Amino acid sequence: MSQIWIENGLFVTMDDSNPSFKGHMVVTNDRITYLGTESPQQLEGSVQKVDGNRMVFMPGLINTHGHAAMSLLRGYSDDQNLQVWLEQKMWPMEGKYVDQDTRAGSALAIVEMLRTGTTAFVDMYDRMDQVAQMVLQGGIRGILTRGVIGLCPQDVQEAKLVEAIAFARDWNGKADGRITTMISPHAPYTCPPAYIERFVQAAHDYDLPLHTHMSETLAEVEQNVKDYGVRPVEHLDRLGFFSRPALVAHAVHLHDSEIELLAAKGVSVSHNPVSNLKLASGIARVPELLRAGVTVSLGTDSVASNNNLDLFEEIRFAALLHKGVSGDPTAIPAMEALKLATVYGAKAIWQQDHIGSLREGMKADFIAIDLEQPHFYPKTDIISHLVYSGSGRDVKHVWIDGRQVVRNGECTLLDEEKIRYEAQASFERLLQA
Amino acid sequence: MSQIWIENGLFVTMDDSNPSFKGHMVVTNDRITYLGTESPQQLEGSVQKVDGNRMVFMPGLINTHGHAAMSLLRGYSDDQNLQVWLEQKMWPMEGKYVDQDTRAGSALAIVEMLRTGTTAFVDMYDRMDQVAQMVLQGGIRGILTRGVIGLCPQDVQEAKLVEAIAFARDWNGKADGRITTMISPHAPYTCPPAYIERFVQAAHDYDLPLHTHMSETLAEVEQNVKDYGVRPVEHLDRLGFFSRPALVAHAVHLHDSEIELLAAKGVSVSHNPVSNLKLASGIARVPELLRAGVTVSLGTDSVASNNNLDLFEEIRFAALLHKGVSGDPTAIPAMEALKLATVYGAKAIWQQDHIGSLREGMKADFIAIDLEQPHFYPKTDIISHLVYSGSGRDVKHVWIDGRQVVRNGECTLLDEEKIRYEAQASFERLLQA
């Protein structure tokens, strides 16, 4: 039995019944077994004590949309029109990927995510076995899905679907439950309707959730109307997509009726503010989505359109952007912004009973932030400081399933220097290939 | 004679004729005396060598609008309507400030700015002697001005103007030229027209530039029209404001004709994207301002509406926000965003011949950024990495006037622990006073 006692820390729990307090937390194996202002009762067996002074402890952050392996393409193409970026830059490079590149890119992303306080991430890509292997090694929590583009002959479509299902079935629950899986038609504009229906059927057959890109750009919405007579939300609804637990990424261009439908069907949204700004896709109607009761979470998307994986940055953009755009300085207050990346993030991936808040019985996925820094002074409102002044660089330690995966800013299970080197080598090979 | 030789660094110069290269830089006393790919010729006397490997060297960042002493109010009021924030929260606390509070708040701000790579900052506040003292101590470059609110009896107005002029004259050129000064009516809505004219006259008499807040909110613009029959730009122009070198902060709500007038009169703008979003003031028309030839620079405003002083964040917001809002992913490319905080910042404060780029003969105000971090891999486009992935937390060393003011992330001339302690003590006293 492994036990950790965090002594005299400031705890930001994201549990509304007990939002923050100065006190103690005990972790036994992979779970939080005590939280309180008083010292815990005598603990049996050996206990690792952690001095919590000068630190704030909070739930690990949850990144609900990304493509980790694309980390190799950071800075490779910026400030371009979407079509040039995608068709002339991203796709040709991605087409040259071999397993080692996917592994190298995923490893780099996992290092960056862990160091900046992300403890769980959604990943949609191909060669997902490679990504899953890196999740296993890095100690992070992964919600993984093989993203399938269906613009191909029927036999290739068939093979991809079989692969996506096989991956989802093989890996679901692996790594002591740290890995869960979904299945994913890439987007309504890259998958014919009949093909999307096959995914919906498979999701029913194998009891899997669905994930896809939806209504990211106006052009895509207009094309959907042209091709199928309806906008993407109604299109996916007709195809049965929302009859399963579903997480949609982006959801930038929505009418009121579409927001209502997403709320009614319990669809989760991954809001990707930085990526949407960088690619000039638009600004999602997050205040309206939240008011309608939709579960909104945060994603970075890939670094190719971000260009980093620091979820504190998405939190800050979410808190600030929607104030400026709506003209309402009370839109998305600090606590709500922090929830997007924690409790709502957990709910978006159907894991709110395990992660996203610090409560007794929950999984011990938490981070420690160094408070002794000028940008956290004076000590006024800790939630405000985390949202408006904090950064992933302030993260000092990270635990997932009770295991310390980052210590003093360095990953404990991964060789960071080797990973940086291999990412560079992969990128150079892709350039020349 | 003091000499520093930066060996084998990557230099991002912000000089269009030689944007970036791997090589060497020599600093002699307060100036850059050599920049090149080859090792410098034999240097006479003692030379401090700095191993530049794994680091990028670039000009220090320039923050063109802020109120340093308000650092004490970080997190004290967020997510509020502007009037509540200002009238019920900020003004009552600011009204209780004594000299020690201004000093404590300014010191905290200077520590945060230096550590995050800002080497020059514009500050508009009162008790400016205290701010100037801290600039002297901290080794930073300050462009300082006593901001005057003129909603008071004529004798008080008179005393404030005298004080503002005296401060500007006493301190201009002090600290080996690191301090320059301006004079500042706070805003058209807080100073009667006749009073603003007194500042304009004084600016002529004493050869000083002018700084003010302008067109930050729509309400303020509409009130200006109601009170004076014209919008703020025309109002200030009629009062002669633009007959002097002038820097205006915010400039959010502008018509095309106002942009043209600012361009024609050579007025500099301090764009404060985070503050404008947080207070829901709106989104400045930065792409249009730049196209018109207006010098646009970046400011944080105070931490009470930000809530941090990391100028890398303003750079990133400027690069991303205007893409998303305009729908044009090529708006404000990375290099242009970086210029806002360097060359354009220097031009905005009329110091482009001294600072803002690395060139032989320029002042040695520069920063070193640690590149051996996952978010800077793979090594592709360094400008993109700085803008879209970089952070003030990546700054390792800072030099101003050839003197190292930050070493390994810590201020060399200031006692950071004492400053944090004093900021906390001041805040607690203000709360109780």
Say how many C-beta atoms besides its own lie within 10 A of residue B210's C-beta: 25
Residue that is written with structure tokens 């261009």 in the block? A253
Q: How far is A415 from chain B (nearest CA, A)?
A: 12
CB < 8 Å to A100, chain B: none
What is the complex's ipTM, to 2 decimals? 0.97
- What is Dmax (Cα atoms) for chain B? 68
Measured in degrees and rounded to the nearest 5, phi and psi for residue A371 equal -90, -15
Cβ–Cβ < 8 Å for A78, A275: no
CA distance A96 to A83: 19
Question: For residue A413, what pLDDT band results from cuts at 50, 70 and 90?
Answer: very high
Q: Which domains does chain A have, with CATH numbers?
A: 3-60+357-411 (2.30.40.10), 61-348 (3.20.20.140)
Q: How far is A79 from chain B (nearest CA, A)?
A: 5
Average pLDDT over residues A85-107: 95
CB nearest B424 (choices: A111, A331, A377): A377
CB nearest A329 (choices: B112, B115, B279): B279
Contact B329 A85 (CB under 8 A): yes
Contact A79 B334 (CB under 8 A): yes
Which of B74, B250, B323, B326 has the most A C-beta neighbours within 10 Å, making it the best mutation to test the interface with A?
A: B74
CA distance A317 to A404: 29
Which of B10, B134, B375, B426 has the most A C-beta neighbours within 10 Å, making it the best mutation to test the interface with A?
A: B375
CB < 8 Å to B282, chain A: 324, 327
Measured in degrees and rounded to the nearest 5, phi and psi for residue A103 equal -65, -45
Q: Looking at residue A193, what is its pLDDT?
A: 98
Core vs surface per residue A81-96: b (16+ CB within 10 A) or e: ebeebbeebbeebbee
CA distance A2 to A24: 17
CA distance A332 to A33: 32
CA distance A127 to A105: 12
Residue that is written with structure tokens 């160091």 in the block? A115
A57, A60, A27: which is closest to A312 by C-alpha? Answer: A60
CA distance A231 to A225: 5
Peptide bond into A18 cis (omega under 30): no
Q: Looking at residue A363, what is its pLDDT?
A: 98
A417, A397, A78, A261: which is closest to B319 by C-alpha? Answer: A78
Q: Looking at residue A1, what is its pLDDT?
A: 79
Alpha carbon dihedral A160, A165, A168, A169, in 10-degree steps, equals: -140
Contact A333 B78 (CB under 8 A): yes
Tell me the residue type at B309.
L
Structure tokens at B342: 């360097």
Cβ–Cβ < 8 Å for B116, B312: yes
Chains A, B: CB pairs < 8 Å: 196
Q: How far is B422 from chain A (nearest CA, A)?
A: 9
Tell me the residue type at B103.
R
Closest alpha carbon within chain A to B104? A378
**Coil, helix or strand at residue A11:** strand
**Mean pLDDT score of chain A:** 97
Non-local CB neighbours of A127 within 8 Å, separated by 6+ positions: A69, A97, A99, A102
Cβ–Cβ < 8 Å for B313, B79: no
CA distance B225 to B189: 11
Closest alpha carbon within chain B to A104? B378
Radius of gyration of chain B (CA): 21
CA distance A36 to A51: 15
CB nearest A384 (choices: B78, B378, B394): B78
Tell me the residue type at B352.
Q
Structure tokens at B50: 């700095």
Contact A379 B276 (CB under 8 A): no
* One pLDDT digit (tens) per residue for chain B, 433 residues: 799 999 999 999 999 999 999 999 999 999 999 999 999 988 888 899 999 999 999 999 999 999 999 999 999 999 988 788 888 999 999 999 999 999 999 999 999 999 999 999 999 999 999 999 999 999 999 999 999 999 999 999 999 999 999 999 999 999 999 999 999 999 999 999 999 999 999 999 999 999 999 999 999 999 999 999 999 999 999 999 999 999 999 999 999 999 999 999 999 999 999 999 999 999 999 999 999 999 999 999 999 999 999 999 999 999 999 999 999 999 999 999 999 999 999 999 999 999 999 999 999 999 999 999 999 999 999 999 999 999 999 999 999 999 999 999 999 999 999 999 999 999 999 999 8
CB < 8 Å to A394, chain B: 393
A343, A369, A340, A338: which is closest to A354 by C-alpha? Answer: A343
Residue that is written with structure tokens 């290939």 in the block? A433
Q: How far is A383 from chain B (nearest CA, A)?
A: 9
Contact B329 A424 (CB under 8 A): no
Contact B377 A424 (CB under 8 A): yes
CB < 8 Å to A85, chain B: 329
Say whether pLDDT at A105 is over 90.
Answer: yes
Structure tokens at A11: 């705890």
Q: How far is A97 from chain B (nearest CA, A)?
A: 15
CB < 8 Å to B334, chain A: 78-79
Say whether pLDDT at A84 is over 90.
Answer: no
Q: Looking at residue A207, what is its pLDDT?
A: 98
CB < 8 Å to B379, chain A: 424, 427
* Torsion sign, CA atoms A202, A205, A211, A214: positive
Average pLDDT over residues A111-115: 98
Say how many C-beta atoms besides its own lie within 10 A of residue B257's C-beta: 11
CB < 8 Å to B112, chain A: 374-375
Tell me the residue type at A60.
G
Q: How far is B107 from chain A (nearest CA, A)?
A: 10
Residue that is written with structure tokens 């044009």 in the block? B328
Contact A377 B115 (CB under 8 A): no
CB nearest B374 (choices: A85, A115, A327): A115
Closest alpha carbon within chain A to B114? A374
CB < 8 Å to A374, chain B: 108, 111-112, 115, 416, 419-420
CA distance A89 to A125: 17
Average pLDDT over residues A315-331: 97
CB nearest A277 (choices: B76, B321, B384): B321
Q: Looking at residue B81, what is its pLDDT?
A: 82
**Coil, helix or strand at residue A103:** helix
Kind of pairing, strands A410-411 and A403-407?
A: antiparallel
Q: How far is B101 from chain A (nearest CA, A)?
A: 12
Closest alpha carbon within chain A to B284? A324
Closest alpha carbon within chain B to A323? B280
CB < 8 Å to B86, chain A: none
CA distance B254 to B234: 11
Contact A303 B278 (CB under 8 A): no
Closest alpha carbon within chain B to A388? B307
CB nearest B388 (choices: A81, A307, A372): A307
CB < 8 Å to B309, chain A: 375
CB < 8 Å to A117, chain B: none
Structure tokens at A281: 């896709």
Cβ–Cβ < 8 Å for A392, A405: no
Q: How far is A209 from chain B (nearest CA, A)?
A: 31
Cβ–Cβ < 8 Å for A29, A4: no
A158, A220, A167: which is closest to A195 by C-alpha? Answer: A158
Per-residue pLDDT reduced to its tens digit, A186-200: 999 999 999 999 999
Closest alpha carbon within chain A to B79? A330
* Torsion sign, CA atoms B252, B254, B256, B262: negative
Q: Give the 3-state DSSP-derived string for chain B, with helices as H, strands as E and coil as C.
A: CCEEEEEEEEEECCCCCCCEEEEEEEEECCEEEEEECCCCCCCCCCCEEEECCCEEEEECEEECCCCHHHHHHCCCCCCCCHHHHHHHHHHHHHHCCCHHHHHHHHHHHHHHHHHCCEEEEEEEECCHHHHHHHHHHHCCEEEEEEEECCCCCHHHHHHHHHHHHHHHHHHCCCCCCCEEECEEECCCCCCCHHHHHHHHHHHHHCCCCEEEEECCCHHHHHHHHHHHCCCHHHHHHHCCHHHCCEEEEECCCCCHHHHHHHHHCCCEEEECHHHHHHCCCCCCCHHHHHHCCCEEEECCCCHHHCCCCCHHHHHHHHHHHHHHHHCCCCCCCHHHHHHHCCHHHHHHCCCCCCCCCCCCCCECCEEEEECCCHHHCCCCCHHHHHHHHCCHHHEEEEEECCEEEEECCEECCCCHHHHHHHHHHHHHHHHHC
Peptide bond into A378 cis (omega under 30): yes
Residues for chain B: how many in total? 433
B328, B301, B324: which is closest to B313 by C-alpha? Answer: B301
Q: Looking at residue B79, what is its pLDDT?
A: 92
Structure tokens at A202: 């498979």
Contact A377 B108 (CB under 8 A): yes
